[in-house]
Every structure is written in structure tokens, then in C-alpha cells.
Structure 1
């Protein structure tokens, strides 16, 4: 894959994954921190793009806001189950936590017997982490599949050291397309940057829309362009050293 082109403030809308793209991975996801210079550069880019910069993540928007404070960009959280279509706007939630009550109950026995697994409850999604227990990957995936057996209204997604379940019909590509329908994004070409398996939906959507698709890392991808790692993303964005 080739190095990506520069961002064109007059034509592009920029969509950025968070973990593995703007920040590196840490053992405790609650303890990630973005470099102040990177946060400041995102603010500059959002202004240059007339607000057409969005963070697209599996995290909740409230968590993204905390990491990026005091900034509140347009965002899609929990793979699009939460959306904020414009900077500082209202957060829209497309589903409620009660849809996952039965799944929570079914996972409880596995969690009790395997304390190295950690369940992150996002309300509208459940994420089973095995970053510090790689030998339990098969168990985690099997437990989640069993927990959603017979539920056609839920979908399981496998990511980097996680297995996640959330209501069906939503992914990062659907979220990108929805955000692109309204100002300040409408009429622009989407530029999407992401590293995870879950980002492939949005990378495909951006490419099919005639935009720019950028994969972070070395994994196989539908993306047209590639950046090596978080540091390379920062350089491409113009973050000062």
C-alpha cells in the first residue's frame, strides 16, 4: 500500500479511530492518554475542516470526551450505537442497555471462573477483554457465542484482544455513512484512518464513496493506503514532535 495523500481542508471530512490510531494500547484501557500536541493538532484540523472531523470508536462518546477534554468533536461511539453529528452537539443513542441483560447473565459464570478475563459494560455493548490472558482467547470467543445463542438481534465482533457484542445493524461503516449525510460533513469526501478489524467496515465505506481509506499497521485490509503505527499517524496529521 502507498503513503496516504495530505488532507485537503476544502474537500475532505476526516474520520479517526481512537485506540491504535490516535493513542497506543495499554493494559488498562481507562489509562490511555493522548499527547497534548496531538489533541491541539486535532483542534486545528477540525477548525480547518469547518468541523468535519469525527472520532469513530468502540468506546463510549463520554469516554472519548474525557480523553480529549476540553474538546468535543463529532463522534460515533460504541461502533455507531452512539452518535454526535456535529462538534459539541447532542449525543443520540440508538439502543438501550436492557437489550443485553440476558447476555450479561449468561456471561457471569464464565467471568466468575476466569478472573483474568475482564468484562467492559458499555451499556449498549459488552466487551470481553483477554489482552492479559491470550491463552483464554478461544474460551472468550466461545463464551460470547454461547451467551448470544439464539439472539438474531445481536452481533458478535472480534477485535484486537477482545470479543464484543452489540445490537445488530450497526458498525463503523454504517456510522460513517450516517454522519456524512448532514453538515458539516455533507458534500465532502470521507477520509478514514483505523487499525482494527472493526475499522474495515468504515474503510470499505470510505473507499466506495471515492474517499481515502488508511489502514494503521500491517494487517490485511481493504484500505488503499497505509500508515505504520500511531507515531506515523501523528506525523501524517502534522503533530509536532
Structure 2
């Protein structure tokens, strides 16, 4: 593995651990952070989350330690997540890789045609409106159907979005925590990470990723394969070599890194 060959386990990590997670040399690392379920606790609705009051200060401190190589990588739309992270001007990857913000400019995946995405959102919203407990989350690059408020509707939500995926080429159906999502084919957090780690100031640094969801597993697996630090937040099977109990523990570990 390339990252192990160039000495990540020696040169890029100290001998100390924080909550069982190896403490990296942040000036030689790139830190990828998921948002929901990792930095903030999950809520019944996407708009009901509560962001820790010190989040902005934490991200700025980590950005200073990494020379700006802190990347928020989330399933949310960038336009949404940046409202919760005002003051953070670093890179953001949204929609699981379907969006990217670099130097303040947001770019959407080429398959995310606004007319098609809008049509998917309209149909899904209409379906959710007839099923109490389903929530439609419309994104610039796709649509999510949440069944967190009524888990008995999981099969109906899946069947509906599967039917939509079969009639809309270029969009794949994905399962996440208490939700199903349609998004452009061929994207993923691991795909975006690989591309970013080959460019500019990110090249030659060690990848670190904190993620919680099944949709984060390909990226956690990729980071672990490179000899980086893959951290699973919460329960569930994982390819990550480290685990933290919940977002509070993740924030605590990150604060200690920032203060080291």
C-alpha cells in the first residue's frame, strides 16, 4: 500500500492515542469529517439537528493544524450544511460526492440535471405526503426518503424509490440510516477522497476519516487500506480500525488533537 510504503505509520503518527485512536501529526495529514451522526447527533428530521456551540472554533483550530486540509464530506447538500458551519471556509464535499465546494465555488455532478432532479423531488414529495412518517429531503443532486419516524414504512419507501431509479438512467438507489436515497451513479465519498488526495496540497499527506453510516464504509475501507486512520463513530460492522461511541466522543477526540 502506497501510504504505508512512504511511512505513514511512523512519520505521520505519534505514539500517543486519544480514546483509543492514534494521534496523528496533523501538519502531515488530511482530515475528512462526516457531518450527521459524526460531528452532530442524528435527529428525527434533517432540520432538527443541534450543532455544538464550539463547532466553528474546533474546525478552525483543526484547519490551522492541517494547513487548511480539513474537508467536510457529507450526504447533505452543501447549501444546507454550510448554514450550520458558518465561518468554516474550507473544502466541502456534499451529496456523497455529487457536489464539491473549493475556494467558495460550488460545483454539481454533471448527471445532476436540475430538471431531472426536480422531477424526482416532486414525485417523492408527493409520495411522502400520502404516508405519515415519511420525510422527503430534496437535494440539488438527488432526493432522500427518510422513514426514521415510522420504520414500518421502510419497505414501501424502498419500493417507491427503486421504481423511480429504474425509470431514471444515471441515478442509483442507496440505503443509509433510516433512509433511502437516489443520487447520480458512480459517485461516492471514497471516489472523491481518492481524487482529492492526488491533487495540490493534499498529495503526500495521510488520510483520516471519521464516519458513522453504512454509506461511509467504502471510504473507511479505502482510508484503512492506505494506512491512514479510519474511525467509525457509533455501532455497526465496519472496516475501520478505530471506533468512537458517538459524536460527543468524536468531538472530544478532535478537540484534544486540536489542543495537542
* TM-score w.r.t. length of structure 1: 0.91
* 2-structure distance, mates of 1:65, 1:190: 23
More helix by percentage? 2
Q: Deviations over 1:15-40 (max 9, x none)?
A: 00000000001122113232122321
Partner in structure 2 of residue 89 of structure 1: 104
Shift of 1:12: 1.1
- Root mean square deviation, CA, Å: 1.9
* TM-score w.r.t. length of structure 2: 0.84
* 1-structure distance, mates of 2:91, 2:118: 29
Show the 5 A alignment for 1:1-241. Answer: 3-85=20-102, 88-94=103-109, 95-101=112-118, 103-104=120-121, 106-107=123-124, 110-238=127-255
Shift of 1:183: 2.8
* 2-structure distance, mates of 1:58, 1:34: 16
**Aligned in 2, Cα 1:237/1:105: closer, same or farther, shift over 3 Å?**
closer
* 1-structure distance, mates of 2:149, 2:54: 30
Q: Quick check: 1:103–1:148 contact (8 Å CA) kept in 2?
A: no
- Equivalent residue pairs, number: 237
Q: Judge which range, 54-63 or 24-33, deviates more.
A: 24-33
* 1-structure distance, mates of 2:108, 2:63: 24
Shift of 1:75: 1.1
* 2-structure distance, mates of 1:218, 1:78: 23
Segments of structure 2 that go 5 or more residues without pairing to the other structure are 1-18
Q: Deviations over 1:187-229 (max 9, x none)?
A: 1011000000111121122122221111111200111111111
Segments of structure 1 that go 5 or more residues without pairing to the other structure are none
* 1-structure distance, mates of 2:249, 2:130: 41
**Aligned in 2, Cα 1:214/1:108: closer, same or farther, shift over 3 Å?**
closer
Q: Quick check: 1:97–1:125 contact (8 Å CA) kept in 2?
A: no
* 2-structure distance, mates of 1:111, 1:237: 38
* 2-structure distance, mates of 1:200, 1:52: 21
* 1-structure distance, mates of 2:99, 2:118: 19
Aligned-partner SS, 2:93: strand
